Structure 1
Amino acid sequence: MAGNQINQNTRKLKRNSTLKQSEKRTAVSNIIGKLTLKEMHLNFMRFKRAEGLAPRTIDGYEETFGYLLDYLGRNLTKKEMTTDLFVAYKDFMINDKGYSPHTVNVRIRTLHTFLKFCFEEGYILEPIHIKIKPIKAPIDNVDALEPHEIKTLLAVLDDDWFTQYRDKVIILTMLDTMARIGELFAVKRTNVDLKHGSIYLEGDTVKTRQGRTLPLSYRTTKLLGEYIEETSDFNSEYLFVTYDGRQLNESTFRIKLREYAEKAGIKKQVSPHVFRHTGALLYLLNAGDPFSLQKILGHKDISMTRRYVQMTQTNVKDQHELYSPLNAIFNKNSRK
């Protein structure tokens, strides 16, 4: 009797790991089965913040989740999170709302990451993320401005006013460096190397989280030198500031660009990203190569740069006329 008591009270030192993987997942899921969709996403966001993602990326996750909640109209329990429901949301964006493939894919990729997290953490038993994939999309031309439109836009800016002078410097710097507006507005005065003609983007301010150095043309280097000297009494660490020395806000600048475009009579969209597109396109048209452009833009792979290469194909006929192989045969100056 005493022996039996000892055996019953003896602590088990080794686990009997005979549960199947599916049973283990079910056991874990039962423990956290009361989590709702919003609570799962809250944990997901904590995890993503702990990864040290850029604030812009974090904001993107929050924004796209908000779109999903708008569609659902309420919170969900674990049992209500099914493949059919999320496929229906994808169909709603494509066919009911008529969103562009780009818009749909941005939201789908974010949703895929969230659902994968939920499955791997055992919040849900079904690998819904496997069925939620981006849609095939054509490589569309990006919005860009013509050189004469840029000149027209710059012509409406009055250099006698500091804010318009500053905005002119920003526009030309964006075109020259092709930096994202968030990256450029985070640049500090010490990040500008006028001697070597470059701007350094710190890793925690860029989308890829990898710092990179952007080359500056002689014209932009000279312009930035003059601007830095003029703003030396602002006592701000940031390069681009308001008239009273505070860090410039992206939204404020976007509004100003639309006002300048309207004043210049430009009907196209004029935004910071349009300047990035325009700079990339003109870089290639001026005989720049795609691989150096990829590094300047901060793209992880060349496929992201490919759309700019595609846009330059409109200029292929003129280039072919100049560099056709037959010119080497029949040109008067060719060797007989």
Structure 2
Amino acid sequence: MVMNNRKHGIFAVTDEAISLAYINDKKSDAITIKNALSTVFQQMRVAGNRERTIESYQYIFNQFLDITQLKYVEDITVKSIYDYLDALEVARETKLIRLKSIKAVLSKFHNNGWIKEKFWSGIQIKIDKKVKKGTTEEEIMKLIEIIDQSSFIDYRDTVAVLTMYKTGIRIRTLGELQEHHIDFDKMCLNLDGSIMKNHKYLKLPIDDKLSSMLKRLIQLNNGIRSYYETKNTNVFITQNGLTMNKSNSSNNAISKQLNKYSKRFGLDNINAHALRRAYAKNLLNKGASVPLISKALGHSDIAVTTQYLDLDVDEVARDLMDFM
């Protein structure tokens, strides 16, 4: 046996060291979580995922590693995920978001062959879903009447509100909208995949009023950029002629302005998401089908669209009567 040939004295190897060597040898072909994450994030960048999405996954998974102190992919278990979730001192809604991110990354580990079974699929967090209401047309018109459109900021915000309400585009897409995305001859927005969340091209119509206001805003933008010597072709810019979106956030100057208006004028439902939902509900009221509305919103899942529509149970019952 090997134990009988062990050297003694200064050349001796302790049982603890032998045991440690055995453990290290066992892990020699195992992939570390950090290396796995590096590969996955590289794959996501090549696939065209937004950097802010990758940064979010990275933040959450690093938090997972800090709490669980895991090193290797094969060490991740159902228990370690529950330990992570249990250690978070956040609302259940936030825990659900973190869990979804953990699952998304682990699924990519699975796709790369580093994990054989999707053991995390059974982990659930139940929360009571709060229905988010859309802004009413009355609230929108009230806001537009109250805003003093004599200044650049107020005029820009008015055009932003109408653009979101009449096209349903996201606040981040609004911040990245360029002049070449507007076809004034054909009266539509041509939104390429680079500014869309789902990276798919979308064409949305605009009416005469919005078209005229967008033209006026572009004229004002040219004066602002000329004064501050800034160069960009964004439709919605700051008062200093700069672009609004930040790389690490979907928030921008207009989003902050909407929050300010909501508090100042006592309008509880003035925000970008509420305007987007108002657009969806307005289409539904005019007879548009749910699949068409889903396409207009750029949703990949029609179930998300139905949540946006927030159909009242009595309203559903009345509509169903037409098919009896």
TM-score of the aligned structures, taking structure 2 as reference length: 0.75
State the alpha-carbon separation in 2 of the partners of residues 142 and 305 from structure 1: 12
Establish whether residue 33 from structure 1 lines up as the match of residue 27 from structure 2: no
* Residue 98 (structure 2) pairs with residue 107 (structure 1): yes
Alignment of 1:54 with 2:50, yes or no, is: yes
CA pair 266-202 structure 1, distance change in 2 beyond 3 A: same
Could you give the per-residue CA deviations for residues 310-329 of structure 1, whole angstroms, max 9, x where no partner exists? 42545457768xx8699xxx
Name the structure 1 match of 2:214.
224
User: Residues 285 and 135 (structure 1 numbering): CA distance in 2 closer, same or farther, change over 3 Å?
Assistant: farther
The answer to whether 1:86 aligns with 2:81 is yes
CA distance in 2, matches of 1:61, 1:203: 22
* Contact kept in structure 1, 2:134 and 2:273, CA below 8 Å: no
Tell me what 1:144 maps to. 134
Q: CA deviation at 1:89?
A: 3.5
Q: How far apart in 2 are the matches of 1:29 and 1:139?
A: 46
Q: Write the letter of the residue equivalent to 1:278.
A: A
Which one-letter code corresponds to 2:132 in the other structure? V
In the TM superposition, what whole-angstrom CA distance separates every residue of 1:128-167 from its partner, at most 9, and x where no partner exists?
5444555567775223222222233223321111011101
Displacement after TM superposition at 1:107 (Å): 2.8
Shift of 1:290: 1.4
The answer as to whether partners of 2:238 and 2:253 remain within 8 angstroms in 1 is: no
- Is the CA contact (8 Å cut-off) linking 1:189 and 1:239 kept in structure 2? yes
3-state SS in 1 of match to 2:282: helix
Give the letter aligned to residue 83 of structure 1: V
CA contact (8 A) 1:192 1:200 kept: yes
Distance of 1:173 and 1:156 partners within structure 2: 18
Contact 2:133 2:274 in 1 (8 A): yes
Residues 77-129 of structure 1: per-residue CA shift (max 9 Å, x gap): 22642221113445667xx74413xx444433321221233345455x56354
- Please show how residues 241-256 of structure 1 align to structure 2 within 5 Å: 241-249=237-245, 250-256=251-257
State the match for 1:9 in structure 2: none
Deviation at 1:50, TM superposition (A): 2.1
What is the alpha-carbon distance in structure 2 between the residues aligned to residue 132 and residue 253 of structure 1? 40
Mapped partners of 1:220, 1:210: distance in 2: 24
Other-structure match for 2:67: 73
CA distance in 1, matches of 2:104, 2:26: 19
Gaps of 5+ in 2: 1-24, 226-230, 246-250
Contact kept in structure 1, 2:149 and 2:155, CA below 8 Å: yes
Partners in 1 of 2:323 and 2:305 — Cα distance? Answer: 27
Q: Which residue in the other structure is 1:186 paired with?
A: 176
RMSD: 3.2
1:295 aligns with 2:295: yes
Task: Report if aligned partners of 2:68, 2:83 keep a CA contact under 8 Å in 1.
Answer: no
- Give the aligned partner of residue 202 of structure 2: 212
Q: Secondary structure at the match of 1:199?
A: strand
Query: Structure 1 148/63 Cα, relative in aligned 2: closer, same or farther at 3 Å?
Result: farther
Kept in 2, the 8 Å contact 1:83–1:131? The answer is no
Preserved contact between residue 145 and residue 275 of structure 1 (Cα < 8 Å): yes
d(CA) in 2 for partners of 1:182, 1:29:
48
